């Protein structure tokens, strides 16, 4: 699939929204799943992490967030569900602006999957962890059980509901962590390095699980083949700004762009040799 | 036939395992109270009480070797009990070449027996109760919800942190040379860094909780309570221990 | 210092349990505001950390290794109320799951280690912090001295409880001397370990240290002055525990030590004394007096047994606090000397 407006490699990959909507005039009738404008953030010690990030993700769309370490990918992710507050700029989730009064609703719509699943699995059993979120939303009894079953089935861990987290393998814990946030039925799922430390089979299983989801996905990753396989569109973040935004295959084939931002393809991998990921925008 | 061990739990099915945690906690505390109530030197009574706890350990199908190993935690305190005959006051007696206090001898020996029974009871409790079930039981016993939640987090992460500490210590010790000052600095430095990492993990866990809608209300672990029958079964142990004591007292057989 | 079952009689065990519940309940309520807002994750992880840290073998020199109690360290890191709750959680798990510490002795262990250990460690650290220059560099020595004092303080508390309900007759004075003396030595190890661990935390994330909040970090020019520093302009004033509070705390410690000893010796030895002096000699004999732990008092040459017991308690407390303060003054002197030398070298 090639997006409208995409030409070829080399220069021209400025941060232009590929999805077709004009970023200057938001449409209330058709809000983006994620709409980030001019997001600026500095850490308390003065370190500036984000210097005006613009990003728009449509409902159901899958976008890879690429960039070297320290680019600000995790920092950006933490703004999307209101964990961090921007110094300037706005974040809109389904039209709703993220702010101190809207956090509850924002967190119904956007959920993060952290890099370390142990940070998200804090309950005695898998079932307790998956039930934690929906229980806080007010679900009880049979409805709660059904929601838990639904989330665990989506990640293929339904038969492990009574298990204790430290008995699970890393890959299983990662899947359960995804289930804990799926149980909130978010519109947008933001994943931070989901394939790190997974063996190849685990990686494939994860890809299948994510491919089966309806939610929009923003996947921050170093795993370029995974990004190519799952996400038709990619955004490159470096030094706190978006430096490229376009079809994943085209970005990965742009050698100059890759080199300029410390992105490297695995040995022997040709991004043009695989079919592009399917377009899942609604 | 060895049973698999899952943390502290010995995975088996026994009448003891099946009892709800709150009944076991109360039973264990009461039986030890009965034992402590028994006056020094009442060996027959203490013997019966100890035997009843050993019986429960057997009913729970706990391997003897495992139980004995876990009871070794008592070891440092045994030294204290052995000192008693030498530091206590009162009339003395000759024990070989040394003069010891009679009361100290009696008291020390009694102390040793009582403490051992207490340790055994605690080992049986831990070996027959799942961590989550224990939390549920404590909640039913009206332990403050916040404290139960803290215990829950503690149990969840203590293995993670202990492993990290171990790895850090190994790494530091491998690198560190020099005198004792350096070694302490290396080990303690590793521990200090671990605290920072642990705290940062705590912040992330907190963020994860907030992200999943945490409002200040802790999730409850306990669903149902124990039946009267289950309470009766559990309390039969302390009841027996107390009965023996009372019987001996009534029969005038207590020292 | 985990007391097993059988050390203290049933009434004392129950009473300490009740008092422990009350004190921990108060600490929970004080800490709860923070815990409810931020969640139980941080205290829970701190508890897990203290538990794991207590298992670490710290090389304290001369081929020996020591273990950490952690009350003063926890108070320095997360504040006194949360530290009480954290240490209580650790003791609960140790007692319930690891048979470390008797279940009937939980009240005793909580009072000595989670309450006295934490509170004394914290108060002494705050006291020392007032004597030292108001800089973040003072935090580690202050906490170390607090840690040093907290261990014999806990031992003294145990001695007091034993005086009330110990099951074997041991002369109170001898027990107090032995316990406090031995734990003064252990306190050194605790101080060293606390200093090393807290130092590592202060080096990377001083913002995580409760004891260091409101303290400005030392600016290079200020360090060279050598005199008492004034906080950097714009820095917040250090929060001080009022002199009154500290004085009250200090006096309370002494009063408790003395009063408990008095109470212990008043029962029933004092009773016997009173009975004798009032002529009820016979009545006193067939009570439990004859077998009481305090029947034979051999501490000091004082004829009046209950006074000598009280004095033993008070002296113990005084010695401990005095040692702590002496260390603080020495530390301050050394710091002044070191800084002056550094300034002279410029």
Question: pLDDT (tens digit, 0 to 9) for every residue of chain A, 282 residues total?
Answer: 344 434 333 333 333 333 344 444 445 556 889 999 999 998 877 677 899 999 999 999 999 999 988 888 989 999 998 888 888 999 999 989 998 899 888 988 999 999 999 999 999 999 999 999 999 988 998 999 999 999 999 999 999 999 989 889 999 999 999 999 999 999 999 999 999 999 999 999 999 999 999 999 999 999 999 999 999 999 999 989 999 999 999 999 999 999 999 899 998 888 888 888 888 888
Return d(Cα C21, Cα C30) in angstroms, integer.
14
Q: Is the pLDDT of residue C18 over 80?
A: yes
Judged on CB neighbours under 10 Å (0-12, 13-18, 19+), A60 is: middle
Is C43 or C239 the better-scoring residue by pLDDT? Answer: C43
Tell me the mean pLDDT in the region B162-178: 71
Interface contact A120-B159, CB threshold 8 A: no
Window 15-54 of B: residues touching C by CB (8 A cutoff) are 25, 28-29, 32-33, 35-37, 40
Return d(Cα A213, Cα A61) in angstroms, integer.
11
Contact C261, C138 (CB under 8 A): no
Return d(Cα A208, Cα A230) in angstroms, integer.
9
pLDDT at B237: 92
Contacts of C334 (CB under 8 A, 6+ apart): none
Return d(Cα A131, Cα B79) in angstroms, integer.
49
Contact C240, C130 (CB under 8 A): yes
The closest CB to that of B213, out of A114, A125, A133, belongs to A133
Distance from CA of C284 to the nearest CA of B (A): 18
B188 in contact with chain C, both atoms CB, cutoff 8 A: yes
Structure tokens at A102: 């809207």
ipTM given for this complex? 0.88
Q: Which of A124, A125, A151 to mutate to test the interface with B (most CBs of B within 10 A)?
A: A124
B223 in contact with chain A, both atoms CB, cutoff 8 A: no
B141 in contact with chain C, both atoms CB, cutoff 8 A: no
Interface contact C103-B32, CB threshold 8 A: yes
Return d(Cα C137, Cα C153) in angstroms, integer.
25
Contact A115, A193 (CB under 8 A): yes
Domain that holds residue A57: 34-266
pLDDT at C263: 39
DSSP letter for each residue of B68-128? HHHHGGGHHHHHHHHHHHHH--SSEEEETTEEEEHHHHHHHHHHHHHHHHHHHHHHHHHHT
Average pLDDT value over all residues in chain C = 71
Choose among A213, A168, A164, A167: nearest CA to A191: A213
- Residue A138 phi/psi, 5-degree rounding, is 110, 0
Q: Tell me what percent of the residues of chain C surpass a pLDDT of 70.
A: 59
Residue C227's CB: how many other CB atoms inside 10 A? 10
A65 forms bridges with which residues in the sheet? A220, A235
Residue B236's CB: how many other CB atoms inside 10 A? 14
Residues B64-74 have pLDDT tens digits of 888 888 888 77
Contact B39, B248 (CB under 8 A): no
**Comparing A220-224, B162-166, C194-198, C268-272, which segment has the lowest mean pLDDT?**
C268-272
pLDDT at C315: 52
Q: Classify A62 as helix, strand or coil.
A: strand
Contacts of A268 (CB under 8 A, 6+ apart): none
Q: Is position A19 within any domain?
A: no
Q: Classify B9 as helix, strand or coil.
A: strand
Residue B231's CB: how many other CB atoms inside 10 A? 17
Choose among C245, C139, C271, C122: nearest CA to C195: C139
pLDDT at C259: 43
Instruction: Give, in order, the Cα–Cα distances in Å from A86 to each of A25, A98, A242, C37.
Output: 22, 10, 16, 22
Return d(Cα C312, Cα B177) in angstroms, integer.
45
The nearest alpha carbon in chain A to B157 belongs to: A122
C227 forms bridges with which residues in the sheet? none
CATH code, domain carrying A122:
3.40.50.300
Q: Classify B30 as helix, strand or coil.
A: helix
Query: DSSP assignment, residue C134?
Result: S
CA diameter of chain C:
81
Domain that holds residue C27: 10-345
Residue B190's CB: how many other CB atoms inside 10 A? 25
Q: Which of C103, C177, C182 to mutate to test the interface with B (most CBs of B within 10 A)?
A: C103
DSSP letter for each residue of A40-60? EEE-TTS-EEEEEEEEEE-TT
Task: List chain B residues with CB under 8 Å of C44.
Answer: 149-154, 156-157, 202
Helices B102-127 and B21-37 pack at an angle, to 10 degrees, of 170
Count Cβ–Cβ pairs < 8 Å, chain B vs chain C: 268
Dihedral, CA of residue C202, residue C206, residue C209 and residue C210, to nearest 10 = 140
Residue C296's CB: how many other CB atoms inside 10 A? 13
Choose among C331, C317, C330: nearest CA to C152: C317
The nearest alpha carbon in chain C to B123 belongs to: C99
- Residue A139 phi/psi, 5-degree rounding, is -75, 145
pLDDT at C258: 46
- Domain definitions of chain B by residue range: 5-137+225-250, 144-211
**Comparing A180-189, B43-52, C181-190, which segment has the lowest mean pLDDT?**
C181-190
Judged on CB neighbours under 10 Å (0-12, 13-18, 19+), A194 is: buried
The closest CB to that of A132, out of B6, B207, B219, belongs to B219
Q: Look at the alpha carbons of C82, C88, C92, C93 in this order and tell me if their dihedral is positive or negative.
A: positive
Q: Is position A51 within any domain?
A: yes
Instruction: Give, in order, the Cα–Cα distances in Å from B157 to each of A166, B72, B133, B194.
Output: 9, 25, 17, 13
Domain count, chain A: 1
Interface contact A112-B211, CB threshold 8 A: yes
- Tokens 């304290």 sit at which residue? C60
Which DSSP helix (H) or strand (E) runs through C172?
helix C172-204
Sheet holding A48-57, edge to edge: A48-57, A34-42, A88-93, A96-97
Contact C5, B34 (CB under 8 A): no
Cα angle, residue C244 at apex, residues C242 and C247 outer, rounded to 5°: 115
Interface contact B211-A164, CB threshold 8 A: no
CA A119 to chain CA mean position, Å: 17
Window 81-120 of A: residues touching B by CB (8 A cutoff) are 81, 83, 103-104, 107-108, 111-112, 114, 116, 118-120
Interface contact B152-A124, CB threshold 8 A: yes
The nearest alpha carbon in chain C to B30 belongs to: C104
Window 193-252 of B: residues touching C by CB (8 A cutoff) are 193-196, 198-199, 201-203, 205-206, 209-210, 214, 216, 218
Q: Classify C9 as helix, strand or coil.
A: coil
Q: Are strands A48-57 and A62-66 parallel, antiparallel or unpaired?
A: unpaired
pLDDT at C287: 36
Return d(Cα A152, Cα A158) in angstroms, integer.
5
The nearest alpha carbon in chain C to B191 belongs to: C197
DSSP H helical ranges for C218-304: 220-225, 243-265, 271-277, 281-285
Distance from CA of B19 to the nearest CA of C (A): 16
Domain count, chain C: 1
Q: Is the pLDDT of residue C285 over 90?
A: no
Query: DSSP assignment, residue C8?
Result: B
Return d(Cα B223, Cα B144) in angstroms, integer.
16
pLDDT at A35: 93
Q: Which of A118, A127, A136 to mutate to test the interface with B (most CBs of B within 10 A)?
A: A136
Q: Is the pLDDT of residue B172 over 60?
A: yes
pLDDT at C26: 93
CATH code, domain carrying C247:
1.10.1760.20
Interface contact A107-B156, CB threshold 8 A: no
Q: Is position A6 within any domain?
A: no
B197 in contact with chain A, both atoms CB, cutoff 8 A: no
pLDDT at C301: 38
Q: Classify C200 as helix, strand or coil.
A: helix
Q: Is the pLDDT of residue C84 over 90?
A: yes
Q: Is position C23 within any domain?
A: yes
Residues C235-279 have pLDDT tens digits of 333 334 445 444 444 554 454 444 444 433 333 333 343 334 333
Q: Classify A92 as helix, strand or coil.
A: strand
B153 in contact with chain A, both atoms CB, cutoff 8 A: yes
Residues B99-153 have pLDDT tens digits of 888 888 888 888 889 989 999 999 999 999 988 889 999 999 989 888 998 999 9
The closest CB to that of B125, out of C47, C96, C201, belongs to C96
Return d(Cα B200, Cα A85) in angstroms, integer.
18
């Amino acid at each position: 699939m090639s997006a409208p407006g995409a030409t070829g490699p080399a220069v021209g990959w400025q941060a232009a929204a590929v999805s077709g909507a004009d970023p200057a005039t938001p449409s209330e009738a058709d809000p983006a799943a994620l709409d980030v404008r001019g997001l600026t953030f500095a850490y308390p010690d003065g370190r500036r992490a984000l210097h005006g990030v613009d990003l728009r993700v449509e409902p159901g769309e899958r976008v890879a967030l690429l960039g070297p370490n320290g680019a600000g990918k995790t920092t950006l992710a933490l703004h999307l569900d209101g964990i961090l507050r921007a110094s300037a700029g706005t974040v809109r989730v389904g039209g709703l602006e993220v702010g101190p009064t809207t956090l509850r609703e924002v967190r119904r719509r956007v959920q993060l999957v952290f890099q370390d699943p142990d940070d998200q699995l804090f309950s005695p059993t898998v079932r307790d962890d998956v039930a934690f979120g929906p229980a806080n939303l007010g679900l009880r009894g049979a409805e709660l059980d059904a929601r838990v079953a639904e989330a665990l089935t989506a990640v293929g861990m339904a038969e492990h509901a009574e298990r204790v987290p430290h008995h699970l393998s890393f890959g299983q814990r990662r899947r359960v962590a995804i289930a804990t946030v799926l149980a909130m039925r978010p519109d947008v799922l933001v994943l931070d390095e989901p394939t790190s430390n997974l063996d190849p089979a685990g990686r494939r299983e994860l890809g299948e699980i994510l491919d089966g989801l309806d939610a929009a996905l923003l996947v921050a990753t170093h795993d370029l083949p995974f990004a190519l396989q799952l996400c038709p569109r990619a955004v490159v973040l470096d030094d706190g700004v978006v430096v490229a935004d376009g079809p994943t295959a085209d970005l990965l084939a742009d050698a100059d762009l890759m080199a300029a931002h410390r992105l490297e393809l695995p040995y022997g991998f040709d991004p043009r040799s695989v079919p592009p990921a399917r377009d899942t925008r609604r | 036939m060895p049973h698999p061990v899952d943390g502290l739990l010995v995975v088996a099915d026994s009448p003891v395992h099946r009892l709800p945690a709150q009944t076991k906690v109360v039973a264990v505390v009461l039986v030890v109270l009965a034992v402590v109530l028994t006056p020094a030197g009442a060996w027959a009574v203490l013997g019966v009480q100890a035997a009843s706890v050993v019986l429960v350990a057997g009913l729970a199908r706990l391997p003897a070797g495992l139980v004995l190993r876990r009871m070794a935690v008592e070891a440092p305190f045994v030294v204290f009990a052995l000192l008693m005959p030498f530091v206590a006051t009162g009339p003395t007696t000759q024990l070989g070449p040394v003069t010891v206090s009679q009361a100290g001898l009696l008291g020390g020996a009694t102390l040793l027996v009582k403490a051992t029974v207490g340790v055994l009871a605690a080992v049986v409790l831990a070996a027959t109760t799942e961590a989550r079930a224990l939390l549920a039981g404590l909640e039913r016993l009206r332990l403050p919800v916040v404290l139960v939640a803290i215990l829950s987090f503690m149990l969840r992460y203590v293995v993670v942190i202990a492993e990290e500490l171990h790895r850090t210590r190994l790494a530091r010790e491998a690198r560190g040379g020099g005198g004792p000052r350096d070694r302490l600095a290396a080990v303690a430095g590793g521990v200090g860094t671990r605290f920072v990492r642990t705290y940062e993990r705590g912040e992330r866990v907190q963020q994860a909780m907030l992200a999943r809608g945490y409002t200040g209300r802790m999730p409850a672990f306990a669903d149902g309570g124990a039946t009267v029958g289950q309470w009766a079964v559990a309390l039969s142990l302390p009841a027996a221990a107390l009965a023996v004591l009372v019987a001996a007292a009534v029969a005038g057989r207590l020292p | 210092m985990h007391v097993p079952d059988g050390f203290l009689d049933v009434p004392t065990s129950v009473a300490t349990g009740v008092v422990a519940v009350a004190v921990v309940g108060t600490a929970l309520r004080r800490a709860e505001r923070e815990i409810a807002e931020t969640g139980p994750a941080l205290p829970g992880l701190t508890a897990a950390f203290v538990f794991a840290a207590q298992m670490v073998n710290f090389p304290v020199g001369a081929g020996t290794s020591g273990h950490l109690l952690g009350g003063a360290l926890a108070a320095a890191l997360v504040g006194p109320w949360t530290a009480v709750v954290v240490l209580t959680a650790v003791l609960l798990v140790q007692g319930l799951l690891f048979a470390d510490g008797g279940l009937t002795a939980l009240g005793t262990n909580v009072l000595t280690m989670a309450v006295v250990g934490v509170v004394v460690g914290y108060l002494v650290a705050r006291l020392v912090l007032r004597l030292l220059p108001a800089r973040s560099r003072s935090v580690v020595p202050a906490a170390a001295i607090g840690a040093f004092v907290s261990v014999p303080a806990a031992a003294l508390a145990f001695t007091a409880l034993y005086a009330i309900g110990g099951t074997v007759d041991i002369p109170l004075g001898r027990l107090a001397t032995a316990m406090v003396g031995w734990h003064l030595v252990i306190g050194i190890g605790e101080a060293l370990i606390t200093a090393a661990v807290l130092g590592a935390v202060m080096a990377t994330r001083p913002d995580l240290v409760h004891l260091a909040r409101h303290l400005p970090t030392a600016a290079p020019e200020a360090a060279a002055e050598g005199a008492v520093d004034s906080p950097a302009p714009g820095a917040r004033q250090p929060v001080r525990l009022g002199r009154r509070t500290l004085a009250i705390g200090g006096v309370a410690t002494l009063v408790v030590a003395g009063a408990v000893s008095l109470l212990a010796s008043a029962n029933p030895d004092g009773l016997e004394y009173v009975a004798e002096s009032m002529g009820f000699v016979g009545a006193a004999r067939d009570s439990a007096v004859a077998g009481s732990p305090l029947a034979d008092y051999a501490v000091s040459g004082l004829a009046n047994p209950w006074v000598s017991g009280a004095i033993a308690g008070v002296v113990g407390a005084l010695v401990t606090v005095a040692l702590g303060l002496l260390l603080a003054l020495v530390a301050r002197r050394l710091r002044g000397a070191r800084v002056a030398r550094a300034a002279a070298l410029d």
